[in-house]
Structure formats: structure tokens, C-alpha cells
A and B are shown apart, each in its own frame.
Chain A
Amino acid sequence: MFERVKDVNLSTIKEIELQASKYPDAVSLAQGIPDFDTPDFIKRRVERALKRGVVAKYSLSPGLPELRELIEESLEKENMFYDWEKEILVTAGSIQGITATVMAITNYGDEVIIPEPTYTSYQEVIKLAGCKPVFVPLNEKEGWSFDIEKYKKVITKKTKAIFYCNPNNPTGTIYSKKQLLELAELAEKHNLFLISDEVYKDFIYDEKKFFSLAELPELRKRVIRIFSFSKAFAMTGWRIAYLHSDEENIKEIIKVHDSLVTCAPVISQYGAMGALEIEEEKINEFKERYKKRRDMMCKRIEKLNSVFSFVKPDSSYYIFPKINPEVADVKKKKKVVDSREFAFWLLKKSQVAVVPGVAFGPNGEGHIRLSFGRKEEDISDAFNRLEKLFL
């Protein structure tokens, strides 16, 4: 019974949130939810669709043609060229797109390499597909970058794909073009797929450059790129995202997509159309506010430098500080802090919810993830509590 899901775990993030909900005054820096509401422009687009009576029926399985056409146009602006009719698939959130992709490209017993720490659900999806997640640690000393030599060591005959998040959640790292090209070279050599989850690509600070392997036409059969409307447009609850790749891959992925959801929620597809028609200044407005919050959070963590050390993130809305084992009031004998124990202890002592680093992979142990997607007041309140606890 339940053989398929016996090794699949519920996300630790949700577990922490559930526990935090039991404390009436808890402040959460755990889940990656933007505190902004969906912009009015998107809501009005959806209201119009509702009034016209066009949201009640299924759309075509890959999504509304008008939405896919808009997606193709938006990709063009980012130097990516994909055919909306055959190469773009609208999904019910990125995780559904990821699930459909992993299930379509792997066979039972295959291995998928994940550079970690990274988003918690990747490994669960891989396990659900009957495959084995193979972790490759990111190099914290080099700003959480790739170490290509480590990939070479873990590739086996069973390796089917390398699955990375760029910019990375929870470290906020943007992988350099050079590193990504090295990864592509490796993928070419060993005939591997590259799954690139780029949901945070709109939140890049300090004029840092972003590059996607999906920009290279010679890699289009190898790269499957995923993007979600959740973060960029404050639409986490709408469950709407898309993926794109060469038609050879999409025609296989769509089979799983169709079996899972038939199509993405049509009402949300209209929301996504509103998002793509939106003025760019709205996204920049979000970005500026996140940057302000990042800087604010960094300053507050610096005050706690006897407890935490951290790499300033270039992107996303997370900081991933390392816990100083000497100060943390748990498992004092261990060199690395048990981040899970620490997170629950922190919640109990200060009612501040954070995500234990181990949830993002073994290399995340000894760290916690803090989200600056939350309001300034919440961030301030949480750090007041932490300072009271540690200083």
C-alpha cells in the first residue's frame, strides 16, 4: 500500500507554517508568498472574461491560444524563440509543469541531479516519478555557485537530467553564463536534459546580469524552461505558469499534463494574459520594494552577526543565513546546527517562523531560509524578536 509515495514527504515549509498557525502572534518569514495583492489590471482582465462568460469551459490542453501567443511575444523580448502553437505549454502552477516534465522525460529508476540547497519540492517530484534525486552541493564559499567537477563525479548511466533553479531559491544566486555553458557542455556530452526553473528571474537586483540556456537555439531540444506568474505578478493563489522547449519534448510532456489537469484553470489563464499585458513599471515597482526589503533584512542580520553569517542574495526574495553552532541553543556538541530543531526552537521561543535549511537539501543543513517577500513591518517585528532572543 502507498508504495509510490512512501518516500515522498510533505514540504517542511508547510509543516512550519502549520505549526506557526498555532501561535496567535507568530510572524512568518517562512513561505515564499509576496505580500502584495494581484495588481488591479490583472483583476480587471479576469472580471471582463467572467462577464463575457468565457471562463467556464476547458481551454485547449496546452492553454488558450491568445495567452500562448502573448507568451511567445514576451519570450522574444528575452531572446528566446519558441513556437506558441507547438512549444509552449500553460500549466497549473510551476510544480505541475515540473511534475509533467519529470514524469515525461524519465523512466523508473533514473537519476536526476539537483544542485542544492534548492527548492524543496524538486526532490519530492523526482521521487514521485520513481526516480532518485542525486544531490550536488553548491559552493557557499563561492557565493553558492556551481562546482562543475562535482557534477562530473555523480553522472551515471542512469542520469537523465540536471534540474536547477535559476535564480536559486533559497540562496538567491544567479548562475553565471560561463557556469551554465559548462553545464550545457556536460549535458551534451552525456545526453542529459536540463530543466531550468526561472520563476525568480524578474527579481534581480543591483543591475546583475541574467542568462538562460533557453536563449541558445542549439540547446532547445535539451532545455526545458519553466516560468511561473506566481512571484512576478503576486499570483501565487492563481496557480498559473508555463513551460517551453522544442516541440519534440512538449509533445511528450503534454501527455502527462493532459492526464493530470486537462488544462490550466481558464480563469487564471485570463489572469496571466492580464499579467503579460501589464505595464512593465508595475513589475519594477515590486522589484524596487523587494530590493528595499532585502537591504533592510541584510542590515538586521548583520546586527546578529554572532548568530548568523550570510551571502547577500542577488535575486529572489530569500536570504539563506548560516547558523553559528556555538551560539545556537540546540545540540551544542554538533559542528553543524540541526536546522530543523533550530527552526522549531526559534518558533517556540520567539514565535518567528523560518524554514530549516535542510528542507532544501543536505547542504542546506545548518542554515535557515528567511523570506523578504513579507511586509517591512513583519520583517522588523521578526528581527526585533530575534534581537531580543540573541543579543
Chain B
Amino acid sequence: MKFILKIFLKYYLKVITKIVLFIHKPVVVAVAGSTNKSFVKKEVKKKLEEVGFSVRANPKNFNTEIGLPLSILYLPSGYNEYKRWIPAILKAPLKIFQKKFPDFLVLSLGSSDKGDMNYLLSIIKPDISIITNITQRYKEGFSDMNNLVDEYQILAKKTRKEGVLVLNIDNYRVREVGENKKQKILYYGTNKDADIFISKIEKNKKGQKVSIKQQGRKKDYQINKFGEHHAYAFAVGLAMKELCGKD
């Protein structure tokens, strides 16, 4: 029974989500990577909202076959209780007729087994794809690292051709993903060749001072959080602003 419900939900939500996306046509930003997805997602949402866009992002672990459509449709999960799924099932078709749909969807994509990315990309077609980094996390679901990296290759290939890839230049596996791609690529990181170049990260009492060079201009930013990953997330946020022509 549980299995049948899961299959039903998976395809029911997928179909409705595809219709909703076709009608409302939001800009889809996919965020993928072994770590730092969540902080990058938050930073991108924050930056887009700062420049006046309405944004919807998926919460916590809502990044899989059922979680992703639920996030796009802005519906709650019923988790493991049959009764709690009823409101989601009933409300889902109403989302097709929703008047105000967000300008942007910022969605983290979870891929822990071969084929996961393909399935998620059968629901959405990203306009912008961000890859934070690739490490050995989730390697157990793949025969080797190359297989794992293939998931990200699929994401890059299925990003719209006129779209953009935002890639962490400091991770050589992520750099590999950027090779021979048709989309525009924005690199970010501490490598001088990066489009959004993090030239200095200096820890201070309140967080860290980060110097970033972008479009020929160098600027210092104070980030009131600790950890280099926040500097990277911030750089992605700046990349998004650049893409929106707001900075």
C-alpha cells in the first residue's frame, strides 16, 4: 500500500508540477553539490529578493523525487502518514490556477544514487545551474567517482543552452563539468581566473572580511558568519546579481 501510494504521488506530483512550470514559466535555478548547497541556496534567495524578485526555495531536505515537486507547488509533506497526504493531493491541481507565482525558483537537487539527477531533471529544466563542489560524499551510491561526477555532467547538459552554469573553480571535478559546455559559464572561487574572484578571506570578531574582484572591480564585504563556505556562498550570490544585471 505504502509503495503504491509513493508511486502514485511521485507521478501525480510530477505531472502537476510540469503543468505549473509550463504555465507560470519561472526562472529555475538549480543548486547541486556535495556540500554547501543549503547556504548557497539561502544566499541566492536573499540576493534575488534584495533586488526585488519574488523567490521560492525548497526547504531542508525537500530535494528528491517527491520533495522537489512539493517545494515547487508549495505544499506540505504528509511524511509517513496517509491522512496527512490528503490536503497535498487535493491542493496540488489548484496550483495550476495560482495567480501569483514566484519569479524565481531556487531549488537544491539531491543525488545520492545513479539516475537521481536524471529523474529530477525530467521535472525541471534549469535556466541557471550552480555546482558548489564535488567530494566523496554519497559516493556509496555510485560505482566510482567518475560515475558520481556524471550526475553533475547531466545537470550541466540539461541546463538550458541559453542558460548559465555557475561553477566553483577551486574544485577540479567541478571544473571538469565546465569543459566543452555550450552555456555561458561563471566561475567563482579563490583561483585568479575566476569571474568572481575571492582574493582574501580574513576572520574577524564578527565573522569575516571577504575581498572579491568581479567585473574588474574589487570590493570588501563583511560577512557576519564564520567559515570559508560562506564566502563562497556570498560569491555565488554576487554572480546571481551580475546575471540579473543588478550589479
Q: Give, as a whole number of angstroms, the nearest-CB distance from B6 to chain A.
A: 13
Query: With A and B bound together, what is the CA distance between A76 and B227 in angstroms?
Result: 13
Q: Give, as a whole number of angstroms, the nearest-CB distance from B222 to chain A.
A: 12
Most central of B38, B39, B60, B227 by chain A CB within 10 Å: B227
Q: Give, as a whole number of angstroms, the nearest-CB distance from A282 to chain B.
A: 10
Contact across chains for A83 and B226 when beta carbons are under 8 A apart: yes
Residues of A that sit less than 8 Å from B by CB: 40-41, 44, 52-54, 65-66, 69, 72-73, 76, 81-87, 217-218, 220, 277, 279
Chain A residues within 8 Å of B225, by CB: 76, 81
Is B137 an interface residue, CB under 8 A from the partner?
yes
Q: Give, as a whole number of angstroms, the nearest-CB distance from B4 to chain A.
A: 18
Contact across chains for B207 and A217 when beta carbons are under 8 A apart: yes
Q: Give, as a whole number of angstroms, the nearest-CB distance from A79 to chain B.
A: 11
Contact across chains for B206 and A83 when beta carbons are under 8 A apart: no
Contact across chains for A65 and B227 when beta carbons are under 8 A apart: no
Quick one: which of B78-93 are within 8 Å of A by CB? 79-80
Contact across chains for B80 and A81 when beta carbons are under 8 A apart: no
* Known A40-B80, A277-B60: A65·B137 in contact at CB below 8 Å: yes
Q: Give, as a whole number of angstroms, the nearest-CB distance from B177 to chain A.
A: 21
Q: Give, as a whole number of angstroms, the nearest-CB distance from B76 to chain A.
A: 9
Chain B residues within 8 Å of A69, by CB: 35-36, 38
Contact across chains for B226 and A81 when beta carbons are under 8 A apart: yes
Interface pairs A-B: 10 shortest CB-CB: A83-B227, A83-B226, A81-B225, A277-B61, A217-B206, A54-B140, A81-B226, A277-B60, A218-B205, A85-B227
Query: With A and B bound together, what is the CA distance between A69 and B80 in angstroms?
Result: 25
Contact across chains for B140 and A52 when beta carbons are under 8 A apart: yes
Q: Apart from A53-B140, A83-B228, A85-B229, what are 19 other A-B pairs with CB-CB below 8 Å?
A: A41-B79, A41-B80, A54-B140, A65-B35, A65-B135, A66-B35, A69-B36, A69-B38, A76-B225, A81-B224, A81-B225, A83-B226, A83-B229, A85-B227, A85-B228, A87-B227, A217-B206, A217-B207, A277-B60
Query: With A and B bound together, what is the CA distance between A123 and B61 in angstroms?
Result: 40
Q: Give, as a whole number of angstroms, the nearest-CB distance from A277 to chain B.
A: 5
Contact across chains for A82 and B226 when beta carbons are under 8 A apart: yes
By beta carbon, the residue of chain B nearest A274 is B61
Q: Give, as a whole number of angstroms, the nearest-CB distance from B193 to chain A.
A: 24
- 21 sampled A-B residue pairs with Cβ under 8 A: A40-B80, A44-B80, A52-B112, A52-B141, A53-B140, A54-B140, A65-B35, A65-B135, A69-B35, A69-B36, A69-B38, A72-B227, A73-B38, A81-B207, A83-B226, A83-B228, A84-B227, A85-B227, A217-B206, A277-B60, A277-B61
Chain B residues within 8 Å of A44, by CB: 80
Chain B residues within 8 Å of A85, by CB: 227-229
Quick one: which of B1-60 are within 8 Å of A by CB? 35-36, 38-39, 60
By beta carbon, the residue of chain A nearest B76 is A279
Query: With A and B bound together, what is the CA distance between A53 and B79 in angstroms?
Result: 23
Q: Give, as a whole number of angstroms, the nearest-CB distance from A218 to chain B.
A: 6
By beta carbon, the residue of chain B nearest A41 is B79
By beta carbon, the residue of chain A nearest B81 is A40
Chain A residues within 8 Å of B206, by CB: 217
Query: With A and B bound together, what is the CA distance between A379 and B137 in angstroms?
Result: 47
Chain A residues within 8 Å of B228, by CB: 83, 85
Chain A residues within 8 Å of B226, by CB: 81-83, 87, 220
* Known A52-B140, A277-B60: A86·B227 in contact at CB below 8 Å: yes
Quick one: which of B212-235 are within 8 Å of A by CB? 224-229
Most central of B80, B206, B226, B229 by chain A CB within 10 Å: B226
Query: With A and B bound together, what is the CA distance between A69 and B38 in angstroms?
Result: 9
Contact across chains for B137 and A66 when beta carbons are under 8 A apart: yes
Q: Give, as a whole number of angstroms, the nearest-CB distance from B136 to chain A.
A: 10
Query: With A and B bound together, what is the CA distance between A249 and B226 in angstroms?
Result: 15
Chain B residues within 8 Å of A40, by CB: 80
Give a binary string over B193-208; 1 marks a CB under 8 Å from any A CB, 0 the rest.
0000000000001110
Query: With A and B bound together, what is the CA distance between A41 and B35 in angstroms?
Result: 23
Chain B residues within 8 Å of A76, by CB: 225
Query: With A and B bound together, what is the CA distance between A181 and B135 in angstroms?
Result: 42
Chain A residues within 8 Å of B79, by CB: 41, 279
Chain A residues within 8 Å of B135, by CB: 65
Query: With A and B bound together, what is the CA distance between A69 and B137 in angstroms?
Result: 13
Query: With A and B bound together, what is the CA distance between A107 and B226 in angstroms?
Result: 29
Q: Give, as a whole number of angstroms, the nearest-CB distance from A185 to chain B.
A: 17
